[in-house]
Amino acid sequence: MEITKGMKAPDFCLRDQDEKDVCLKDLKGRFVVVYFYPKDDTPGCTIEAIEFSGLSKEFDKSDAVVLGISPDSGKSHCNFIEKHGLTVRLLSDPDKRVIKQYGAWGKKMMYGKEIEGVIRSTVLIDPQGRIAEHWRSVEPKGHAADVLGIVKRVR
């Protein structure tokens, strides 16, 4: 699916690391940052999760919720959170339904080979449930700060 600015964000309900349901419709009225990442506890994913966690108070002040989504299990998310002291909420999408809805699944280069997998990307959903921004194929370092800057600007 092609995600474009201004479109209604595809609705979803997924379980977080504590096996609690998180539904987009329940977050209406707030900004929602959804970042898609390939795998818990890998180098790039760890950098990204630590940076989003480090800015969690700033996102809170901007009335923005940050959600990380990967195909990993809740147990894997719990281990990842505990190991790195993360504060972001991580959602499990084992069948990749939401990942695909948001265009975060496809061909990508890894170690010089083309593979199919989760494409590191982020969407910012506005309080009305529309896509305010979409970052495709992001670099983990510094990305959380870039997203926070946009949240503050569009508020």
| Cβ neighbourhood burial of 11 (10 Å; 0-12, 13-18, 19+) | exposed
13, 23, 45, 78: the active-site residue: 45
Q: Residue 25: CB partners within 8 Å, gap ≥ 6?
A: 11, 129
Q: With cut-offs at 50, 70 and 90, classify the pLDDT of residue 137.
A: confident
pLDDT digits (tens, 9 = 90+) for 9-44: 999 999 999 999 999 999 999 999 999 999 999 999
pLDDT of residue 113 exceeding 90, the answer is no
- The mean pLDDT of the chain is 96
Q: Where do the structural domains in the chain lie, given as residue ranges?
A: 13-154
Cα dihedral 19, 145, 151, 129, rounded to 10, equals: -30
Measure Cα distances from 27 to 65, 83, 152 in Å.
Answer: 8, 28, 18
Mean pLDDT of 110-135: 94
Residue 92, amino acid: S
Q: Write the CB contacts of 113 (distance below 8 Å, at least 6 apart in sequence).
A: none
pTM of the model: 0.96
Question: What is the domain class of 13-154 according to CATH?
Answer: alpha beta
Cβ atoms of residues 9 and 24 within 8 Å = yes
45 counts as catalytic: yes
Q: For the chain, first and last CA: distance in Å?
A: 27
